[in-house]
Chains A and B, each alone.
Chain A
Amino acid sequence: MKLMKTLMVATAMTAVVVGTAQAKQLVYCSEASPSHFDPGPQTGGNDFDASAHTIYDRLVEFAPGSTEVVPGLAESWEISADGLEYTFKLRPGVKFHTQPYFTPTRDMNADDVIFSFERQWKQDNPWYEYLPGMTWDYFQGMDMPGAIKSLEKVDDLTVKLTLNEANAPMLANLAMQFASVVSKEYADQLAASGDMASFSTQPVGTGPFQLVDYQLDSVIRYQAFPDYFAGKQPIDDLIFAITTDASVRAQRLIAGECDIMPYPAPADIPTLQGNDKLTVLEAEGLNIGYMAYNTTEAPFDNVNVRKALSMAVDKQAIVDAVYEGAGQVAKNLIPPTMWSYNDAVVDHVYDPEAAKKLLEEAGVSGLTTDLWAMPVSRPYNPNAQRVAELIQADWAAIGVTANIVSYEWTEYRERGKQEDRKGPFQIGWSGDNGDPDNFFGTLFSCAAIGVSNYASWCNEEFEALIQKAKATTDQAERTALYEQAQVLFKQEEPVLTLAHSKVFMPMNKKVLNYTMSPLGTHSFVGVDVAE
């Protein structure tokens, strides 16, 4: 009893201490620990949330809540008529964070921009591998080494980027996390002191928040950067409370221990929506879950067989059962929120009888095939095993036998890439930069066979369309080309487009001005909390 009393008094004291704090604080229950705070070599969304979107800025940015590219550290830019030269005018007077471990002596300038790219690009740069075994996955994955011819300093506040050939998605690429601008002055200081590894743990950026403390696997603390070029943020302290389990995140949100959380478990969404202290934002995800036929394997090399198999699948039933309302049937490769989406494309109607007939006409009977199911839950497909079972049942109805195959996740993707893979393969994609080429080119160009073209599909006509679209800077013209590409894609049916998922963001009602990014990133720029 005495203990209870002591506890209660102490709790009251705690409350007083909390109550007297003046600083405005926002607690974000993040889903995983960041590997470190250098956005260049990172690949995970949680890594980017903890570094690129808090500590750093880029030359250009995606406008909040959209995939439109707007000025960032570059105030303006000019693109030459042939689309090869980009000249960026940098914003003057941009400060880097002052930290106990670094005091900047100059503002951000062209040297920082060039250093930020060269460390990822030039293998002889001393920072190319400043941590053991480091790779610049996004810089390479977006084929920047192949695209960039040169990057030069014109003057302190002007940078000129020259490309090998016109590349329309380039501007959007530069708004991606890997293109964050880091401090060359800080890097030089660390190199001189022989402690280069600290670059990833004691970050210095120009961004809206600066790192205060990170306790491994537990909590990351930031404070608003008072000299941020766009003005200090409305909140003073930003705290990431690392909470890996989705149900626990929901409990913490309900208990008021955090103000906002990503990736709720589908089962928790109704409870969260029903709680009158909370708001649950929802948005269409910039993603696609699909099943790739191997178009080089008989009988899937016959377009009519592919069509028949697609027609036999009740996509709506799958979306209802597996996505539990958090998704919509996909007819195109790109989601409807993306520009150039062709709504005129007509999807195959679910019709097992017609499918059976089509198979017969193609001379296929008693087909037995493997059917691949991912071992992990992904935003674009929460339960691929279940989807596989439903497809298996649908196909059984037209006399096709499917054996479900699965491997460990990295192994799964590796085996899926093989050109001689047997059977249709479930996979999906979440957009990186909002450009259609990030779907069409990345996933279905001929060059992507063996990399990310799981259908091993190389169609000359389609290839010509997407390559032309990539090299064109006029958006209207690009839109027309991608619309045509989508028509062709549906005619050829290299994949069964399954669904685009919805994303949810539950938060306390006191959180103001939070905008969901279609790119799935979490940024707290401009967010405020009601007192």
Chain B
Amino acid sequence: MLNYILRKLALIIPTLIGISICAFAFVRVLPGDPILAMAGQHGVTPERYEILKEQFGYNLPIWQQYFNYVGGLLQGDFGVSLATKRPVLNEFFTLFPATVELALMAMLFAVVIGVPFGVLAAVKRGSWIDQLSMSVALAGYSMPIFWWGLLLMMFFSAYLGWTPVSGRIALSFFLKPITGFMLIDTLLHGNWPAFVSALRHLILPAIVLGTIPLAVIARQTRSAMLEVLGEDYVRTAKAKGLSSRRVVNVHALRNAMIPVITTIGLQVGLLLGGAILTETIFSWPGIGKWMIDSISKRDYVAVQSGLFLIACIVMVVNLIVDVLYAVINPRIRVK
């Protein structure tokens, strides 16, 4: 097991180097000059331009810029945002809890709805329930997030008034952040109405963000279930005269969940990607919205380091999933 984890960790180093090169190159391939972008409508004098260029190291050869950048990363220096002139790392971790909170809720929504529907579709294979849930899953998978978000918002918030339109909590609550997780903070403050408000604000964005994972999980659960239901041990269990409910819930589901857990882990990257749109629609103050804002402000330092940090997080999550998977399924370790 330890061996397996070490092997996985060893893979991280080349991956990190790859990610840093990609993030660095991506920002340099983007059109536009960061120094000019900083200067705004009036532009800068040529002398000042040269000074700034030197100050930010943009006058150096590209490979040297890269090594300076990586050198900074190694010392935990992720650079200073061109827009706010503040360390990028601070901003990232100020906003990150909001994204995690939203992603967890979205995942919860996707699993709680997706798994039962997947199981049901497999058990009642070919029935109308199967066909309906699979068509809904297909629709969910192909839904443009932007359109879906605005649609739900217009109907449930603006028209029916059931859920808030956007933001993380009603503006009448003014709570100092403690952990950055709104649901936890409101409870720590002992403010129950604020907790409810935070929860209400989570509903629509979590549904919108969870829609695609929901569809993927439902389909994955269905096919994993179908496979397992055809196995000998399930037939044996049935032959022993166990109730079909027990066969499905205990014998089949546990084994079918193994690939589903991997899928869930892989969805994390997708969730962070989806968060960019969802957070923008719902004015959710997380890293997704921050990335979009940074791109539109041409805050290249923020984009470059933000991309790197997001990639690192996705990688760590995938590593954890791999390890968990190996714990559940010993065969993986040997391969």
Contact = CB atoms under 8 A, between A and B. Distances in A.
Interface of A: 7, 10-11, 13-14, 17-18, 21, 25, 27, 32-33, 35-36, 43-44, 131-135, 137-138, 140-142, 197, 200-201, 212-213, 215-219, 221, 239, 241-245, 247-248, 251-252, 254-255, 257, 407-411, 413-414, 451-452
7 contacts: A35-B297, A216-B94, A241-B167, A244-B289, A248-B150, A248-B166, A408-B32
B282 A133 contact: no
* Listed residue (B91, B158, B161, B297) with the most chain A CB atoms within 10 angstroms of its CB: B158
* Listed residue (A36, A217, A411) with the most chain B CB atoms within 10 angstroms of its CB: A217
B108 interface: no
Given A218-B167, A252-B166, A17 B193 contact: yes
A218 B285 contact: yes
A494 B161 CA distance: 53
Contact of A408 (B31, B43, B158, B297): B31
A197 B39 CA distance: 19
B33 A411 contact: yes
B33 A414 contact: yes
Given A133-B52, A451-B43, A11 B196 contact: yes
B283 interface: yes
A411 B32 contact: yes
A13 B191 CA distance: 11
Main secondary structure of the interface of A (DSSP, over half): mixed
Interface string B191-227: 0110011011000000000000000000000000000
Nearest to A247: B150
Given A43-B39, A216-B285, A217-B289, 19 more contacts: A36-B85, A43-B40, A43-B42, A132-B55, A133-B85, A134-B85, A135-B38, A141-B42, A216-B290, A219-B167, A221-B174, A244-B289, A245-B283, A248-B282, A251-B157, A251-B158, A257-B166, A257-B171, A408-B31
Given A33-B293, A257-B171, A410-B33, A141 B43 contact: yes
Contacts of A137: 39-42, 44
Contacts of A251: 153-154, 157-158, 165-166
B80 to A, nearest CB: 5
A206 to B, nearest CB: 24
A77 to B, nearest CB: 26
Contact of A255 (B36, B158, B283, B297): B158
B155 to A, nearest CB: 11
A32 B192 CA distance: 30
Contact of B196 (A7, A133, A140, A239): A7
* Listed residue (B32, B80, B95, B200) with the most chain A CB atoms within 10 angstroms of its CB: B32
Contacts of A414: 33, 36
Contacts of A11: 196, 200
Given A14-B197, A251-B158, A141 B41 contact: yes
Contact of B280 (A212, A239, A244): A244
A178 B253 CA distance: 65
A133 B166 contact: no
